[in-house]
Amino acid sequence: MAALMPSLLASSVEELELELLLQALYQCHGYDFRGYDRAMVAGKVQALRLRLGLATISALQSRVLHDGETYNTLLRALYVAPALMFDDPLEVSMLRRSLGVSLHGAALPRVWLADCASPQQAWTLAILLEQEQLAPRTEIYATVASDTMLADAQHASLPMARLDELQANYARSGGVGKLIDYFDIDADGLHATLKPQLAGRITWAQYNLVTDASFNEFQMILGQRALPDFGPALRKRVLQLFDGSLAPFGTLALDRPLDDHDPLSRHYKPLLANQSWYKRVA
C-alpha cells in the first residue's frame, strides 16, 4: 500500500496543476475549458507539455501566462483536432444526402460550422455546395474560438505538396474530377487558394460555444467534430444552443445519437437509421 502512495500523490498533484491551468486560462484570457471532458483535456495538455520539453503542468502554466506564443499553442492543442479536406467519407456522404433536402427550400440558406476544425473543413463544404448548385445562394458561417485561429483561417492556403493526398481523400469520398479545379494556384506554384466565388461564401468569425449566445438562424448546423470534447453539462448547454439556432426542418449533425430521454430528442428525427444526423420536426 505504501508503494502506491507516491503515484497517488503525483496523480493528485497533476490534477491540481491541471485545474489551476484551466482556471488561469479562464481568469486571464476568458477561455473556459473547465467543462470539457477532463480526461481529454489532460491528454492534450500532457502531450503539449512533453512536446515543449517541460517537466510539469505548472511549468506549462507559467509559460502560458507569460508567453503569448505558448498561450496560442495551448489554445490550438485544446481545440478540435484539425481536419483535412474530404477526410471523412461518411461525413461527406451524409452531407451529399442532406444538403439538397435541407437547403433547397430556403431562399438564402445558412450553414453553421461550429468550432470549425480547419479551413479545409470549410473548403470541403463549399465545394460540395458548388457541386449541388447551391453555392451561389448559401452562406457558410465558420466559427473558431480565438482571434489567432480566425486570422490563421482567413489567410490559409492549400499546400500543393499535399495535393495527391487530398485528391485521394476526394476520390475516396465519391468526388469526381480534379480537386485542384476548385482552386487557383499561386504564382510560387507551392500553394493554392479557394476560388473567389467559393471563398466569398464563407464568413469566418470568432465565437465561443461555451459562453456566447445564438447569433443567427441556420438551415444546417454541423457540430459533430466539437461535441466529443465536452463534458455532460457543457454538452447539454451546447445542444440547447444548437436547438435554439436551427430553423424548422433544418439538419443537425451530431457526434452520436441523441439520448431518447433527452427532452430535445422529441424535436428531431434521424435522417438515416443508426446515424447521428437529424432533421428538425418540431
Mean pLDDT by 10 residues, the chain (282 residues): 54 91 93 94 97 97 95 95 95 93 90 97 98 96 95 96 97 96 97 98 96 96 95 95 96 94 92 91 90
State the Cα–Cα distance between residues 111 and 143, nearest whole angstrom. Answer: 11
b vs e for 201-211, b when ≥16 Cβ sit within 10 Å of the residue's Cβ? bbebeebebbe
Q: Which three cell numbers stand for residue 226?
A: 466539437
Q: What is the pLDDT of residue 209?
A: 93
Helix (H) or strand (E) holding 246: strand 246-253
Q: Which of 104, 128, 125, 96 is nearest to 113 (CA)?
A: 125
Helices (H), the chain: 4-29, 38-51, 57-66, 68-78, 89-103, 119-131, 147-154, 163-172, 196-199, 232-245
pLDDT at residue number 173: 95
Please state, as a whole number, how many other Cβ atoms lie within 10 Å of the Cβ of residue 5. Answer: 9
Give CA–CA dist 208/185, Å, rounded.
Answer: 33
pLDDT of residue 6: 58
Measured CA to CA in angstroms, residue 25 lies from 1, 125, 175, 188, 209 at distances of 36, 32, 42, 39, 16
pLDDT given for residue 158 in this prediction: 97
Q: Which domains, from first to last, does the chain contain?
A: 4-78 (no CATH), 89-280 (3.40.50.150)
pLDDT value of position 262? 87
Q: What is the pLDDT of residue 260?
A: 85
Asked if 162 and 177 count as a contact pair (C-beta separation under 8 A), the reply is: no
On whether the CB atoms of residues 113 and 140 are closer than 8 A, the answer is yes
* Per-residue confidence (pLDDT) for residue 5, from 0 to 100: 54
